[in-house]
Amino acid sequence: MSKVKLEYIWLDGYTPTQSLRSKTKIVKEDFSGKLEDCPMWSFDGSSTEQAEGGSSDCLLKPVAIFPDPGRKNAYLVMTEVMNPDGTPHPSNGRATIDDPDDDFWFGFEQEYFLWDPETSKPLGFPAQGYPSPQGPYYCSVGATKAFGREIVEEHLDLCLDAGLNVEGINAEVAAGQWEFQIFAKGAQSAGDQIWVARYLLERTAEKYGVSVNWHCKPLGATDWNGSGMHANFSNATLREAGSKAVYDEICQKFAPVLKEHIAVYGADNHMRLTGKHETQSIDTFSYGVSDRGASIRIPIATVENNWKGWLEDRRPASNADPYKVAGRIIKTVKG
């Protein structure tokens, strides 16, 4: 048998948006494939904005493991960054999640643009000017409407083969814009899977000479849609409420902490949350049934199920850290 490759994945300390980093550890042929058998590792934090050169070691603590279908005899190991004394590093968003019993379930809708590095525009955009206005691209098919499908399909297969709980994909409103959705029972697991899926997308697009643009409004002040990472969430109370009053009470908890949520909902989100393109203004909080222009949407399925279901926070940007988003939502709902 061949030795086994473990790809340790972590988030760096860059601000305001962290980036993915990874490196490969070779282990013995008899590696079990279990998380508990993944050793702690370290890296040079001075090269990732996470330590000073004179004391540069940071630790990588494995938190989730998945088969790596893109490499032979390999696994993907999601890690969180720890200080040398074993405490969470300040850049560690996963450590902000207070959900020890996995009461909170999260479904993230991750939007992104496939980006042509040569033109600095999305796939499907001409080198000069713009393609036809948005409208026909959403959930589209055809060479003049859907751009980069081969990348998206390959990415989907890799995610499924890795055991990620992807629940769907679709072309989005703008040309070159796509989305995948991931659900997990447990906030940390949902964050782990989003980050590993982002890693696999970056690595897949890399093969095609294409980059992934996670910015929430990469086309600036134009009439083209931005990208979000809508956070669908529930806990036992929401799943079992059976009462509109309970939903009103929970939604109203979000109003006084609007700024605290926006602070962790992604960089440059003011460019996206304008009150247009199915968004609420960044400085306003609202909620409503089936209202995609609200800060929080109450899905019609929740209402029809006798007010037993979930809520959708539509404000998180595509470049937000799902760990920090989940951590803030949980803190607010717990009150």
Shared domain for 44 and 186, answered yes or no, is no
Domain boundary residue among 68, 94, 120?
Answer: 94
Q: What is the pLDDT of residues 30-56, one digit of tens each?
A: 999 999 999 999 999 999 999 998 889
Instruction: Tell me the CATH number at 30.
Output: 3.10.20.70
* Residues 10 and 116 placed together within one structural domain of the fold: no
Tell me the CATH number at 230: 3.30.590.10
Which helix H or strand E contains 8, and what residues bound it?
A: strand 4-11
Predicted pLDDT at 278: 84
Q: CB of 313 within 8 A of CB of 296?
A: yes
The whole-model pTM stands at 0.97
Residue 99 domain flag: no
The domain in which residue 167 lies consists of 105-334
pLDDT for the residue 1? 62
pLDDT tens digit sequence for 126-176: 999 999 999 999 999 999 999 999 999 999 999 999 999 999 999 999 999
Residue 199 to residue 155: CA distance in whole angstroms: 10
Same domain, 132 and 273: yes
Residue 309's pLDDT is 98
- 332 contacts 257 by C-beta, under 8 angstroms: yes
- Whole-number pLDDT of residue 53: 83
Angle formed by the axes of helices 187-207 and 322-334, nearest 10°:
160
Q: How many domains, the chain? A: 2
